[in-house]
Structure 1
C-alpha cells in the first residue's frame, strides 16, 4: 500500500536562518507550513556570526531581538600580533552611533548555532516545529501544487515550496536552475569553534602572513560562549585537515600558540570562498531563499543577513496570496525585489573579502530598498528624505514609537504632518524631519510601498497591487 501523502500550504526545505525566519513569519500569519531539515539537528557551528542592524530590525518585528541581544555582544576590537607580541589595534569596521531613526547602529556577534536555536524557540512558541531527518530528494510541480519526494519514500504535497536548503540545494538542482558565480579566493579556508588558552576575550586576535605564500589566522571570541572561532586562510593548494589535531597544527603554525593551547575542537569545516547567484529565484510554485539562491564570501557578514531578509520579503507575500487577499502575481515581486539586492550584496561581500571595501554603512544594510519595484509608487512631485521603496525609519514622535506601530504582520498607513483621513489602520504624527511631511503606506516588511501628499491616489494603488482587501 502506497504511503499517504502529507499535505500542507507551504513546504520549507532547510532549517537554516532563512527557513526558520520564514517559518516564524508564516506561523504568525496562521499559514500552515511544514519545515523539514535533512540533518538530525540544527547546524552546530558559528559560521554566520554577524547580525547586521537591518536584520536586527527584522528580528525586532519577528519577536526574537531581545533574546538575540542577550545571547550576543558587540564585535571586539582587532588585535594584530607578530612573533608573540601585540602590534596594535585594528578596528574591523567603521563606527556608527544609534539614532532615533536607526536604533540599532552596530552589528551584533552571535554564533549561528545560537541564532538558530533562538529562531527555533520562537517558531515553537508560535506553534510551529521542525521535522528533522527528512531529506528531500526531488520535486515535481503542476498547475495546482508541488509534490516533494523524500529519501524515506514519503511524499508531501504543498501549494508552494521554498528551497532554503543551502548552497548545494537539492531542490534547486532538481529544478535545473543554474547558479552563476566566481571563486573569490583560490586559497582554502578553515573555520572551527574551539576552546583556547593564552588569549584574552577582549580582542579579535589577528595573525597576518609572515611572508609571501603564508596563510592568515584570526581567532575571535564568540560572545555569549566560552568558545573562540578560528578562521584560517591557508596557502593555495594546501590540504585541509579537519581533525582536532589538524586544527591545532594550523593554529600553532600561524601564531605563537602551541598545539596544546587549543584545548578542545567543537566543530570544524572548510570551504573555498565563492560568490554565486541563482539564475532565477522562482520556478513556478517553488522559490529559492538564502544560500540556495546566493552564496557569499563570509567577509562582511552579508550571507546570513541577506538570507533572513529573503524570508522576510517572501513571508508576507505568501501569506497574502494564500489567504486570497492578494493576486498570485504578487509572488512575482519576490524575485524582482530580492535578486538585485542579493547581487549587490554578493559584490559587496567580495569587495570586503579582497580588502577593497571596509565594513561600514553599506554592510549594515540599512540603505537597501525597493525604489524600482513594481510594488513601489511615489506620487509626490518633490519627495522628502524618505521615498516610496525606502526602508521606513524608526522614531519616537508625539508619544508614538514607529517601530512599535509598524510591528506585526499587517500594513500601516503613516501620516506625517498631514490631516489625511483614511479607513485604513493609521498612525498620525506631527511633522518629523526624518520622513518629511506626507502620507506613507508601510508594507509588512517595513518598506514604504506608496507615498503621497495626501491619500489621493491610494485607493488606485491598492487596487493595482490587489491588496485592498488585505487592508480593509
Structure 2
C-alpha cells in the first residue's frame, strides 16, 4: 500500500483470529470484497483454543475446510489421572455422544491447535483470492451515513461500507466506541497455558496431575510432537512463563523431572473471566468473537461461539451488500447472536465451576434461533430457528445441498405447489419420503444452516421471502 493512499473495500475486518478469518472466507466465497488487517506480524502462534465442537465442524464443512481440519486434528483423548507417579484412573471428559445421520459430526470435539485452525482458514482465504495485511494496525476510524473511514498504521485510509471488530477481548474498536463489557471473575486463580514437548509422556491420554498447589494437565496435540500444558495457581501468584519456570512447575506437580520438558514453544497466562458487550453493533460497526464476549476456556465454547458469530454475520452482510436485501437484515445479527452468547457464557461458567458436565450441551448442536426475528413457522419435527439436520437426499446428503451461499427449500414428503422462486438465491430439493428428523413439510434453510421459515404448505412463504428481498423480480 502506498503511504496516505485511499483503499476502498466493502468490509474491513480488524483481527486475523479464527473469527476474522472465518468471516473473511465466508464473505470472499460470496463475492464480497473485504480487507483483513492484523497488527501482529503473523498468525497467533499458540494452541490456546484447541477444541472444535461438532456444530463448528458443520460450519467449517460449509466453508470448505472440514477435511483439512479433520486431517490435522484428532478426537479428544480420555483423561489419565496420576498420583505419586502411578496411573490411578481414567475418565472420559465429554460423555457418550455418538454421531448419527442427522448429526454426522457429533461425538468428542476435535483437538487441533488454534494456530493450525487459523492457518487452514488463511489458506482457504488465499485460495478464494483474499489475504491478510499483517503488521498493520487500525489507528482510528469514523463513520457517516454511507461508510466507515479508517486509518491504518501504514498510513493508508480505508473506506468501507462496514467494519467488523474481531480484535479480541481487549478490542480497540470496542473501546473506541465506548461500548461497555460487563462480566465477572469465574475463578480467582491464575492459569498458565503453554505448548511444550515432553517425550517422556505417552500421547494416548490427556494427563492430569492433581496437586494441593493446583492441577496440572498436559494434553497431546494430534500429529505433532507438542502437548498443551495448562496449570492452575490458586494462590493468585503470577506464573513464570519461561522454560525454567515451566520445568520447575512440572517437576513440582508430577513424577516427571524438569529435564523431561525439552522445549517450550509458546506460553501465556490469564485469569478466567466472563465478559459480554452491552451491544454488538454501533451503526456500521459490528463486534464479533471475543470482542463481543469473553468465556472461561472450560467446555471449549469461546472459539466455537466466535466462529459462529462470523457465520451468522457473513451471509447477512452479503445479502445487503451484493443482493440488495433491506439494510434492516443487519439488525438481526445482534438480536440472534447476543442471546446465544449469554447462553454459552452461562454454560462455560457452569462447566468451569463443576456445576455441569461436558457433553451434548457443549457440542452446540442444540443452539438455535427459535425466538429470533428471522424465524417464522414450523412443520413436522422442526420449528423455524432450529438447526437443519443432515440426512440422505437423493444420491447425496442434505448438507451437500445446503453447502454454499444460497438458501435451500427442502420439500419433504409433500408435493405442494411452490410460488415462483429466484433460482440464483434459492435452491429447491424435493424428497418423496418423510425423514424423521424433519417429518413432513416445507423447510426454508438459511445460508447458515438454520430453518428460517417452515410450513405444511406454502402459505406465508412469499411474504417471508419478500422480507428478505428474495422474491423473483
TM-score (norm 1): 0.96
Question: For residue 36 of structure 1, what is the aligned residue in structure 2?
Answer: 37
Question: For residue 51 of structure 1, what is the aligned residue in structure 2?
Answer: 52
Question: For residue 100 of structure 2, what is the aligned residue in structure 1?
Answer: 99
Q: Residue deviations 1:127-160, cap 9 Å, x none?
A: 1101100011222111111111223333211110
Q: Distance in 2 between matches of 1:262 and 1:67?
A: 30
SS of 2:130's equivalent in the other structure is coil
SS of 1:248's equivalent in the other structure is helix
Question: For residue 377 of structure 1, what is the aligned residue in structure 2?
Answer: 376
* More off after superposition, 42-51 vs 140-149: 140-149
- The answer to whether the Cα contact below 8 Å between 1:110 and 1:224 also exists between their aligned partners in 2 is no
Q: Residue deviations 1:93-112, cap 9 Å, x none?
A: 11111111000012100100
Question: For residue 25 of structure 2, what is the aligned residue in structure 1?
Answer: 24
Q: Structure 1 residue 88 and structure 2 residue 85: aligned?
A: no
- The answer to whether the Cα contact below 8 Å between 1:375 and 1:465 also exists between their aligned partners in 2 is no
Aligned with residue 386 of structure 1, among 366, 382, 385:
382
Q: Distance in 1 between matches of 2:52 and 2:236?
A: 32
SS of 2:330's equivalent in the other structure is helix
SS of 2:348's equivalent in the other structure is helix
Aligned with residue 124 of structure 1, among 119, 123, 126:
126
Question: For residue 11 of structure 1, what is the aligned residue in structure 2?
Answer: 12
Q: Residue deviations 1:248-285, cap 9 Å, x none?
A: 11111211111111000000000000110111000000
Q: Structure 1 residue 446 and structure 2 residue 449: aligned?
A: yes
Displacement of 1:399 in angstroms is 2.8
Question: For residue 112 of structure 2, what is the aligned residue in structure 1?
Answer: 110
Q: Residue deviations 1:356-380, cap 9 Å, x none?
A: 11110110000000011111101x5
Q: Distance in 2 between matches of 1:45 and 1:32?
A: 29
Displacement of 1:2 in angstroms is 7.9
SS of 1:115's equivalent in the other structure is helix
Q: Structure 1 residue 181 and structure 2 residue 175: aligned?
A: no
Q: Residue deviations 1:317-338, cap 9 Å, x none?
A: 0000001431100000000000
Question: For residue 424 of structure 2, what is the aligned residue in structure 1?
Answer: none
Displacement of 1:15 in angstroms is 0.4
Question: For residue 426 of structure 1, what is the aligned residue in structure 2?
Answer: 428
Alignment of 1:102-251 (within 5 A): 102-106=103-107, 107-209=109-211, 211=212, 214-251=213-250
* More off after superposition, 447-456 vs 235-244: 235-244
Alignment of 1:399-438 (within 5 A): 399-422=395-418, 423-424=420-421, 425-429=427-431, 430-438=433-441
TM-score (norm 2): 0.96
Displacement of 1:198 in angstroms is 1.8
- The answer to whether the Cα contact below 8 Å between 1:415 and 1:439 also exists between their aligned partners in 2 is yes
Displacement of 1:7 in angstroms is 1.2
SS of 1:323's equivalent in the other structure is helix
Q: Structure 1 residue 368 and structure 2 residue 363: aligned?
A: no
SS of 1:468's equivalent in the other structure is coil
- The answer to whether the Cα contact below 8 Å between 2:336 and 2:372 also exists between their aligned partners in 1 is yes
Displacement of 1:183 in angstroms is 0.6
Q: Distance in 2 between matches of 1:172 and 1:239?
A: 27
- Corresponding pairs, count: 464
Question: For residue 456 of structure 1, what is the aligned residue in structure 2?
Answer: 459
Question: For residue 356 of structure 2, what is the aligned residue in structure 1?
Answer: 357
Question: For residue 318 of structure 1, what is the aligned residue in structure 2?
Answer: 317
CA RMSD in angstroms comes to: 1.3
Q: Distance in 2 between matches of 1:204 and 1:218?
A: 7
Displacement of 1:400 in angstroms is 3.7
Q: Distance in 1 between matches of 2:50 and 2:221?
A: 8
Q: Distance in 1 between matches of 2:3 and 2:240?
A: 45
Aligned with residue 470 of structure 2, among 452, 467, 470:
467
Q: Distance in 2 between matches of 1:426 and 1:154?
A: 45
Question: For residue 346 of structure 1, what is the aligned residue in structure 2?
Answer: 345
